[in-house]
Amino acid sequence: MKLKMILTLALPLISLIITPTLFANSDENIRACKKINSNIARYEAKRRKGGSAKKMNHWLHKIHLYEDQYSEKDCMKYRRWL
């Protein structure tokens, strides 16, 4: 009974402590994901304009690197804000 009462009092306090850090981390992640997404779009635009085979391969390599970063940062869960 005492444990249940302690938990009901402690959980709101814990959530007040944890919640601001979660929002701060998500804001940083959203900014990072936006930057990665814009870099991918920039290199895709360059590929659409065309260029030499060497440049096209270089840009494709950059796109793959940024796509890997996008996956590592788990940006899919933030795609609504991108």
What is the reported pLDDT for 17? 54
The structure tokens listed for 5 are 């009462």
In angstroms, the CA 78 to CA 33 distance is 8
Residue 79 pLDDT level (bands cut at 50, 70, 90)? confident
Q: How confident is the model over 20-78, as pLDDT tens digits? A: 444 456 888 899 999 999 999 999 999 999 999 999 999 999 999 999 999 999 888 87
The pLDDT, as a whole number, for residue 20 is: 47
* pLDDT number for residue 27: 85
Give 5-29 pLDDT, tens digit per residue.
Answer: 665 666 565 555 554 444 456 888 8
CA separation for the pair 19, 53 (Å, rounded): 49
Distance, CA of 29 to CA of 26 (rounded, Å): 5
